[in-house]
Amino acid sequence: MDKDDPKFLQEPRVIPGQLRVVITAMADDYLTCRTWNGSAQGSVDILVAKFWTARKSVWDGKMLNGISYASSGSDQRTATQGATTETQVIVPPYYVGAELSIQRVPNGGTGIVVGSAALSWVDSNADGRAWARKSMI
């Protein structure tokens, strides 16, 4: 694409390594984002797969190492082992307005399909998000 073409400036460009975005909407397994330069938001939606372990589809209704998981929203789950139950949340949480670093995965390799589009962007998890026990305080 020619750099003088108006679409060149409007479409998300692949920056070697990472692309900086801001979250504009959230779903169970993916986020809707826009490019972000620290002061201005882009105008094109980019669908971004959550990193693998933060996806609802990975854990919901599954058992791993004797622990069964049930989602109670896109960012909360219940882990049960025997008579012990624990509510867990993603920390730090995803939220509209949060900045992310994302990276492109070749050939829609995220495994997430929205409509008929295989997502090719994934949260690089630079913030170190992980499941943690929800505080009862």
Interior angle at CA 99, CA 58 and CA 114, nearest 5: 40
Q: Distance of CA 31 to CAs 4, 28, 60, 96, 105, Å?
A: 30, 8, 18, 9, 15
CB neighbour list of residue 124: distance below 8 Å, 6 or more residues apart? 18, 51, 100, 101, 102, 103
Strands 130-133 and 63-64: unpaired
**Residue 48 to residue 44: CA distance in whole angstroms:** 13
Q: pLDDT by residue for the chain (137 residues), tens digit each?
A: 444 444 444 444 445 568 899 999 999 999 999 999 888 999 999 999 999 889 998 889 999 999 999 998 888 999 999 999 999 999 999 999 999 999 998 877 899 999 998 999 999 998 889 999 997 65
